[in-house]
Amino acid sequence: MGGSLRRPRATLIALAALTGLAALLRFSTLDLQSYWFDESVTVSLVRLDLGGMLERIPASESTPPLYYLLAWLWSKPFGSGELGLRSLSALLGTATVPLAYAAARELCSRRVGLAVAALAAVSPVLVWYSQEARAYALVVALSTGSLWAFARFVRRPSGAAAAAWGAASALALLSHYFALFVVAAEAAWLVAAPGSRRRALPALAAVAVVAGALVPLAEHQRSLELASFISGDPLGFRLARAGKNLLVGFDSPLERELAVVAVAITVAGAAAAWAWTRGRERSGARIAAVVGGTALVLPLVLAIAGADYIDSRNLLVAWLPLMVVVAAGLARTRVGVVALTLLALVGLAAVIGVALEPSWQREDWRGMARALPPPTGPRVILTPALGRRPLELYLPRLSELPQSERPVKEIALLYPVRRKPGEEHPLPPPRPATPAAAGFSLVERRFESSYTLLLFRAPKPLPFGVPGALALRPSQAEPTAVLLQR
């Protein structure tokens, strides 16, 4: 009796510790990194009035509106700076840890629940998106809640469990379209279960209505091809990259070696779940495998058919159910627990590595903007095209340089690290030889690990135009923004 009482208490203490660790990893470095391009779009949206934001979302985003509504409300008391706006994602990412425990416990057992919670707390990819002002932390939290309610309904069918699943699933669909693959797998399972189908029908109908209502918006956003850049890399490469990213993040120390270790542990866990689990843990692992597998296979089928949106962030919804399978296979033995601990330590090493290495972080537009001294006159800024939006957050009075020549006193080149497919880590920023700009002299040069800054100044404003500016860029093939700071 005493032992049975102590076990839930010990589990609760362990879960609280893991949740605290998750919060520490997410909140302690929340404003360490600059906003990047996608986040700058979010900031520009939440700074509008509500009606203006809702009107602009269909033309500027590739996701449904729920996150932006929450972020707009969140920004009113907390602001739209990195710490204030990202704190919503950090809170959602932290809440995912106890939700992950609840889902895995409902599917399998307490020990599997704690194992999955531990992996979620230190997952490099979950920490990364818990520190980003975008919809990904929200869809992970809601799809985790959907899996928990689904598992609860499968184990103990009730109207309350069905309503919880319907609410979580509908909200997940309203946060990101890829939630559909998790929700569809769960819905198909509920429809196929004759004993409980009737109790689930109202929730199934409500989710179907929400999914149907999103179709016109999804079709309109698809027609804009805002996500067409995803298919620029070969599909096989993106699949391999997504698998690596979901296990060890985008960058980590000894990345290839740790990725091999993480893949080996994951494969061993899946094999053990298939071969050795029994009873409730076996059935729970089977359910999780169906849900997680569907969230991977259906996007792949659609990609082969021509609707290719395979990308690491879009496959985040598969992370939790697949980790339930791995944990179910490994948590039952001491050797397996050691392997799970090693997998968690690999994740923790990646999280710490990114926090310590600026070149592995998001492009440092804030650092470049702060490094620029105040302009002494009209200033032209050359930067990669994707830098315009985030720079507008940090530098006042920016606009495109008109095609006709304008009097210019300063020229600044701002270039962050370069990310290229197939590279283990981002390439260093370009280190160009001092380019020739007639009448301008180099007054500042910074070669940081995460960016290059060159500043030229003339004794007095000189006529300067776009062609002259483009001749100064380090790579003539790279799309470049030519901006005027007044």
- Confidence class for position 6, pLDDT limits 50, 70, 90: low
> Do 224 and 301 fall within a single domain?
yes
- End position of a domain, from candidates 357, 378, 400: 357
User: What are the tens digits of pLDDT across the range 440-457?
Assistant: 999 999 999 999 999 999
* Mean pLDDT, residues 261-276 taken together: 96
- End position of a domain, from candidates 338, 357, 376: 357
Residue type, 31: D
* Mean pLDDT, residues 120-129 taken together: 98
pTM value?
0.95
Residue for token digits 């690290």? 417
Expressed as residue numbers, the domain containing 408 is 365-485
Is 263 exposed, middle or buried, given 0-12, 13-18 or 19+ CB atoms closer than 10 A? middle
- Please give the pLDDT value at position 437: 81
Percent of the chain with pLDDT over 90: 86
Is-contact 349 123, C-beta < 8 A? no
Q: Which two tokens stand for residue 231?
A: 């298919």
Query: Which residues 6+ apart lie within 8 Å of 3 measured at CB?
Result: none
- Please give the pLDDT value at position 19: 98
> Do 70 and 175 fall within a single domain?
yes
Q: What is the 3-state secondary structure (H, E, C) of the chain?
A: CHHHHHHHHHHHHHHHHHHHHHHHHHHCCCCCCCCCHHHHHHHHHHCCCHHHHHHHHHHHCCCCCHHHHHHHHHHHHHCCCHHHHHHHHHHHHHHHHHHHHHHHHHHCCHHHHHHHHHHHHHCHHHHHHHCCCCCHHHHHHHHHHHHHHHHHHHHCCCHHHHHHHHHHHHHHHHHCCCHHHHHHHHHHHHHHCCCCHHHHHHHHHHHHHHHHHHHHHHHHHHHCCCCHHHHHCCHHHHHHHHHHHHHHCCCCCCHHHHHHHHHHHHHHHHHHHHHHCCHHHHHHHHHHHHHHHHHHHHHHHHHHHCCCCCCCHHHHHHHHHHHHHHHHHHCCCHHHHHHHHHHHHHHHHHHHHHHHCHHHCCCCHHHHHHHCCCCCCCEEEEEEHHHHHHHHHHCCCEEECCCCCEEEEEEEEEEECECCCCCCCCECCCCCCCCCCCCCEEEEEEECCCEEEEEEEEEEEEEECHHHHHCCCCCCCCCEEEEEEC
Is-contact 185 179, C-beta < 8 A? no
Lowest mean pLDDT among 178-192, 283-297, 304-318, 427-441: 427-441
Residue type, 231: S
* Mean pLDDT, residues 296-322 taken together: 96
> Do 344 and 441 fall within a single domain?
no
User: What are the tens digits of pLDDT across the range 13-63?
Assistant: 999 999 999 999 999 999 999 999 999 999 999 999 999 999 999 999 999
Task: Report the alpha-carbon distance of residue 415 to residue 383 in Å, rounded.
Answer: 6
> Do 256 and 378 fall within a single domain?
no
> Do 142 and 73 fall within a single domain?
yes
* Mean pLDDT, residues 337-354 taken together: 97
User: What are the tens digits of pLDDT across the range 181-206?
Assistant: 999 999 999 999 877 888 999 999 99
- Confidence class for position 298, pLDDT limits 50, 70, 90: very high
> Do 236 and 379 fall within a single domain?
no
> Do 155 and 44 fall within a single domain?
yes
Q: Of 154, 108, 92, 140, nearest to 283 (Cα)? A: 108
- Please give the pLDDT value at position 260: 96
Q: Which residue has the higher pLDDT, 375 or 396?
A: 375
Is-contact 185 295, C-beta < 8 A? yes
Q: What are phi and psi of 407, to 5 degrees?
A: -65, 125
> Do 382 and 351 fall within a single domain?
no
Residue type, 127: V
Q: Of 327, 312, 331, 288, nearest to 146 (Cα)? A: 288
Is-contact 193 290, C-beta < 8 A? no
- Please give the pLDDT value at position 7: 77
- Confidence class for position 216, pLDDT limits 50, 70, 90: very high
> Do 32 and 96 fall within a single domain?
yes
Task: Report the alpha-carbon distance of residue 109 to residue 419 in Å, rounded.
Answer: 41
> Do 35 and 166 fall within a single domain?
yes
Question: How many C-beta neighbours within 10 Å does residue 485 have?
Answer: 21
- Please give the pLDDT value at position 9: 87
Residue type, 440: F
- Confidence class for position 341, pLDDT limits 50, 70, 90: very high
Whether 3 shows a pLDDT value over 60: the answer reads no
- Please give the pLDDT value at position 144: 98
- Do strands 406-416 and 379-384 pair parallel, antiparallel, or not at all (unpaired)? parallel
Task: Report the alpha-carbon distance of residue 216 to residue 219 in Å, rounded.
Answer: 5
> Do 352 and 441 fall within a single domain?
no
Q: How far is CA 191 from the centre of its chain?
A: 32
> Do 174 and 225 fall within a single domain?
yes
* Mean pLDDT, residues 275-283 taken together: 93
- End position of a domain, from candidates 357, 376, 406: 357
Percent of the chain with pLDDT over 70: 99
Whether 435 shows a pLDDT value over 80: the answer reads no
Task: Report the alpha-carbon distance of residue 418 to residue 449 in Å, rounded.
Answer: 11
- Confidence class for position 4, pLDDT limits 50, 70, 90: very low
Number of domains in the chain: 2
- Please give the pLDDT value at position 477: 74
